[in-house]
Amino acid sequence: MINEQQVLNALGKVQEPELHRDLVSLNMVKDVKIQGDTVNFTIVLTTPACPLRNQIESEAKAAVAKLGAKQINIKWDANVPSDRRISGKLDIPVKSTIAVASGKGGVGKTTVSVNLAVALAQSGAKVGLMDADVYGPNIPIMMGVNEQPKAIGERIIPLQAHGVKMMSMGFLVPPEQAVIWRGPMLHSAIRQFLSDVDWGDLDYLVIDLPPGTGDVQLTLAQSVPLTGGVVVATPQDVALADVIKGIMMFQKLEVPVIGVVENMSYFLCPHCNERTDIFAHGGAHKMAEKLEVPFLGEIPLDVAIRIGGDTGQPVTVTHPDSPYAQAFQKLARLVAAAVSVMNVNAAQGELIAGASIPVMRR
């Protein structure tokens, strides 16, 4: 007869592919129950967006089957590990902060931020989206929200759309009004967005940075520990010098670089399915390899993505099974996995501040 200890011993030989430690020592196995030759247990993932869940499932079932189990039922749960530095600096119940940056404007950084946040929320994570582009706040348009947030006491209640909580200067000033502020006012606004907004419990707070390297980036790094940064680029050579600036910015601010994503990477003809590399191809990938940071994938150029941004209906919502949405969903899985690795390693004292994480295996 199979017993609980045998099951735990078997699962103790199954490794979490990203963390390179076994499921049992990571406390990922819960509620082992045995009824005859049927074994039931729960695996608690480090993110609901786990990219290698199928691999974990097949290896766990194979390990337990060797004990003679005829039926193996796995329930799934998730407990996102926290960046412990955040609670030490700000009293907000946010587990991880993900900054999305670009060395220049016009590369679709906000489109990536929006669809990354929505894809993470679709996986089952609790997600917030903070628009730190104070001078050019586009989150309200891209998320389809034109309300003004309410306040309860001294706390601002974030607006919500597509399963994501949001805060943006675009909710607070009329669309036609220009925000003309010096550094101290920017600093105050960013601090308020972090500490005066009632975000609630969040697994991930995605922060859409303004393009370039300036006051907002410095203020954020001083105000809250950033778990990691994603750099958005387009493929052409003229944009790649700005990739270096974005990566160097994160490293100087001691923000681990999650990786580089190539936006507008190619155009897929909806009629003949032929691929056209409008802005060249592969430049961001080559630059990531040169700088030894992970490459997070290619986002195609398509009218559905543009329409989604203009109408407040992200492509991850309107066309979830399209190759365009799947590219963002893959990005979300890679980013979530990277954040889990960094937070677990940091808790063990293994993460060197400002270093890039190893390239994720896919």
**DSSP characters for 263-278?**
SS--EE-TTT--EE-B
The predicted structure's pLDDT at residue 178? 63
CATH hierarchy code of domain 84-347:
3.40.50.300
Beta strand pairing status for 257-262 and 151-152? unpaired
Residue 54 pLDDT greater than 90, yes or no: yes
Q: Which CATH architecture has domain 4-78?
A: 2-Layer Sandwich (3.30)
Q: pTM higher than 0.75 for the full model?
A: yes
The predicted structure's pLDDT at residue 196? 92
Mean pLDDT computed over 256-276 = 85
- In tens, the pLDDT along 141-172 reads 999 998 999 999 889 999 999 999 999 988 88
Give the range among 105-114, 149-158, 349-358 with minimum mean pLDDT.
349-358
Is the CB of residue 82 less than 8 Å from the CB of residue 42? Answer: no
Q: Residue 53 is inside which H or E element, if any?
A: helix 53-65
Q: Residue 15 is inside which H or E element, if any?
A: strand 15-16
d(CA 246, CA 183): 20
The predicted structure's pLDDT at residue 355? 42
Please enumerate in sequence order all residues whose Cβ is within 8 A of that of 324, keeping only pairs 6 or more positions apart, or say none. Answer: 299, 300, 302, 304, 305, 315
- In tens, the pLDDT along 9-44 reads 999 999 999 888 999 999 999 999 999 999 999 999
CA dihedral 121, 171, 216, 206 (to 10 degrees): 0
Is the CB of residue 266 less than 8 Å from the CB of residue 300? Answer: yes
| Domain residue extents for the chain | 4-78, 84-347
How would you classify residue 154: left for phi > 0, otherwise alpha for psi between -120 and 50, otherwise beta?
alpha
The predicted structure's pLDDT at residue 58? 96
State the first-to-last Cα distance of the chain, in angstroms, to the nearest integer.
38
Residue 70 pLDDT greater than 90, yes or no: yes
Residue count of the chain: 362
d(CA 314, CA 118): 8
Residue 269 pLDDT greater than 80, yes or no: no
Residue 282 pLDDT greater than 80, yes or no: no
Please enumerate in sequence order all residues whose Cβ is within 8 A of that of 52, keeping only pairs 6 or more positions apart, or say none. Answer: 17, 18, 337
Angstrom distances, CA of residue 257 to CA of 104, 172, 222, 231, 296? 17, 31, 17, 8, 11
Using a 10 angstrom Cβ sphere, with 0-12 exposed, 13-18 middle and 19 or more buried, the burial of residue 144 is middle
Averaged pLDDT score across all residues of the chain: 87
d(CA 16, CA 6): 19
Please enumerate in sequence order all residues whose Cβ is within 8 A of that of 18, keeping only pairs 6 or more positions apart, or say none. Answer: 52, 337, 340, 341, 360, 361
For the chain, what is the radius of gyration of the CA atoms? Answer: 21
The predicted structure's pLDDT at residue 176? 65
